[in-house]
Each structure stands twice: as C-alpha cells, then as structure tokens.
Amino acid sequence: MVEAIKLNEKNNPQLKGKDFLQLSDFTTDEILYLLNDALELKEMQKQGQPHPFLSGKVLGMIFEKSSTRTRVSFEVGMLQLGGHAIFLSSKDIQLGRGESISDTAKVLSRYVDGIMIRTFSHDSVKELAEHATVPVINGLTDLQHPTQVLADLLTILEHKGKLEGLKLCYIGDGNNNMAHSLMEGAVKVGMDVSIASPPGYLPDGKITEAAIKEGLQTGSSVVITNNPLEAIKDADVVVTDVWTSMGQEEETEKRLKAFEGFQVNEELCKQAKADYIFLHCLPAHRDEEVTGDIIDGTHSVVFDEAENRLHAQKAILKHLLA
C-alpha cells in the first residue's frame, strides 16, 4: 500500500454537503484528503473489513448517456458503504419527457441523500446543484469528468508513490471532458501538464487560463501544443482518450482525419521516461487513439485505473453524504 500523504491535521477539510462538480472547486488539501481516504477505504475493502459509513443513505443516479464503469462503481460503492443506489435512466424518468431540472432536483432531494448525474451540458449539472438540497456529483458532462480524474490521481499515486513534480502528458482531443479535468486535477497536486492536440481541438481557453494561474501557486507548468513529440518528452504519465466523445458521433469521420498523427503508439512513447505509465479512462478504441501494444502492454495501468473509480468515489461519497 502507498504511504498516506502527509496532511496538516488542522487542514482536514469538511466536505459534508458539498457538491462535486469540477476539481477546480476543491483545494489541494481537499483533493489530497480524498485520495488519502480512498487509499484507506481500498485497504479496508481488500482486508474484508466492513465500512458502513453510509448506512441507510441513498444515492440517486441520473444517466443521460451510456456508462459501464461509472454506473457500476457508484452502485457497488454505495452498497459497500452500507447504503443503496438507484439507477435513473433519463429515458425512464420524467426529466426525459421535459420535466424541469429544478423540479427534478427539488423532488429527488426529498427522497435521496445525494444525486449523481451524467449528462451533456455542464450547465445542467450546475443548475441541478443549485436547486438540490443534497450534494450533487458530476458523473461526466461534455466539459468535465472529475470523478474519473480523482481515480486517475489515485492510480498515479499508487504506481509512482507521489504526485508532485511528475509530468503528465495528454495526447488527443484537448477540448473534451478528460483533458479539462486532468488539467484541473494535475495542477492542484503540483504535477506538470502538457497537452498535445490538433488545431481546433485545443482545451477550453478559460479552463486553461485558470489552470495556468493555479499552477503558479502549486509550482505546476501547463503547456498546450500541436506537437505530440514535444508534449510526451520525458513524461512520467501518458494519457489519451477517445477522439470522438459521446454525443459527437456525427463528427467521427472528420475527427479520424483531424487526429491523424496523434495516436499514442510505441514510436511516440519512446520519448516518454523509460518507466512511464499509460492511462486511459476507457472505453478505448484500439488502433485509433492508442495501439493495442500500448494499452495492453507493460506500461499500461488502465484496469487499476478502472478499479480505482470505486475507491475514489467511495471517498467522495463518504465525505459528501455522511
């Protein structure tokens, strides 16, 4: 097990009742605190120690997009914490027939102790959080995927023994949820970030500016480039994601062309550090954004990363809902 990160006892944050919408809403200490707790919860689960911190609590989970990992890890996580999760497909609830987000938020708040939502617009999640009286957790929007990135940080910490000072390189669609949340999360914990994307697919300007500013406080650098070779040079962590995210299916052909030269493959990875690790949030398209020899190779930790969704989210749930 990785050593728990040292925290100033006085800085132990109070997260009860908070929403989890994007990592930029959290302090460095709060993120390290959640990672610490995720490590402890993981150990408890591995040792078979019961940990019913959320006994009797219920999480409502609204899904407007498909999911394997997010749905199953939240559901299993609630069960392991002694609570219960309810899967609410937008196809089946009145939200899908036009009931307002604010009414949905107010009604669900009368029944459940927390709401997780996966949807398209980030503003919808913000609106839900504004009107809900229970914590709202972002389970992916077009703009952000913060629970995934908390799991990614946990995975990096376990494999590298630290976060601060490492170089994380992301190659591919810079304008998607993963690139944005990775940038926000990495600078919070003092990692250098470099993102290589084709023109037209660079990260959101406001998120980039805010990350650069945050990096000045934490000692992280942020580099955005069109050159994958430059971005991956001496990277400790190499990350990619699909070129066509959920909801962009009509652009698939255009994107396949635009992202030529941005595939994570053996040749490109020669530029990373010899002991680099490879992450991908999954689902992956082998031989599009990453070759099979990389994602299934010795540097890849993608299944540890997938498992860590469970442990990282249990820490979030424990502190927000308890």
Q: Which residues are catalytic?
A: 118, 145, 148, 241, 281, 309
Sole binder of ligand NVA in the list 281, 302, 316, 317 (CB under 6 A): 281
Residue nearest to ligand NVA (CB): 245
Residues near 291 by beta carbon (within 8 Å), at least 6 away in sequence: 263, 264, 265, 266
Q: How far is Cα 31 from Cα 179, in angstroms, rounded to an integer?
A: 18
CB of 114 to ligand CP, least distance (A): 18
Q: Transcribe 303-314 into DSSP letters.
A: HHHHHHHHHHHH
Sole binder of ligand NVA in the list 246, 258, 284, 322 (CB under 6 A): 246
Give residues 270-309 in contact with ligand CP (rule: CB under 6 A).
281-282
Q: Transcribe 239-268 into DSSP letters.
A: EE--SS-TT-GGGHHHHHHHTTT--B-HHH
311 binds ligand CP per the rule CB under 6 A: no
Stretch 52-71: interaction string toward ligand NVA, x if CB under 6 A: --------------------
Nearest alpha-carbon partner for 71 in 322, 292, 320, 313? 313
Count the residues of the shown chain that bind ligand CP, applying the rule CB under 6 A.
8
Which 3 state secondary structure label does DSSP give 231? helix
Joined together, the tokens standing for residue 196 give: 């290589």
Considering the complex, state which of residue 67 and residue 90 has its C-beta at the smaller distance from ligand CP. 67
Considering the complex, state which of residue 148 and residue 220 has its C-beta at the smaller distance from ligand CP. 148
CB of 178 to ligand NVA, least distance (A): 5
Residue 68 binds which entry of ligand NVA, ligand CP, none, with Cβ cut-offs from 5 to 8 Å by kind? ligand CP
Q: How far is Cα 13 from Cα 34, in angstroms, rounded to an integer?
A: 9
Radius of gyration of the chain from its Cα atoms, rounded to whole angstroms: 19
67 binds ligand CP per the rule CB under 6 A: yes
176 binds ligand NVA per the rule CB under 6 A: yes
Listed as own residue / partner, the contacts of 198-207 with beta carbons closer than 8 Å and 24 or more positions apart are: 198/226, 198/258, 198/259, 198/261, 198/262, 199/226, 200/258, 201/173, 201/174, 201/175, 201/258, 201/259, 202/174, 202/175, 203/174, 203/175, 203/179, 204/143, 204/175, 204/180, 207/24, 207/143, 207/180, 207/183
CB of 241 to ligand NVA, least distance (A): 5
Q: Which stretch binds ligand NVA (CB under 6 A): 5-13, 113-121, 199-207, 237-245?
A: 237-245
288 binds ligand NVA per the rule CB under 6 A: no
Count the residues of the shown chain that bind ligand NVA, applying the rule CB under 6 A.
9
Strands 222-225 and 114-118: unpaired
177 binds ligand NVA per the rule CB under 6 A: yes
Residue 54 binds which entry of ligand NVA, ligand CP, none, with Cβ cut-offs from 5 to 8 Å by kind? none
List of residues contacting ligand NVA (CB under 6 A): 140, 176-178, 241-242, 245-246, 281
Binding stretches for ligand CP (CB under 6 A)? 67-70, 140, 148, 281-282
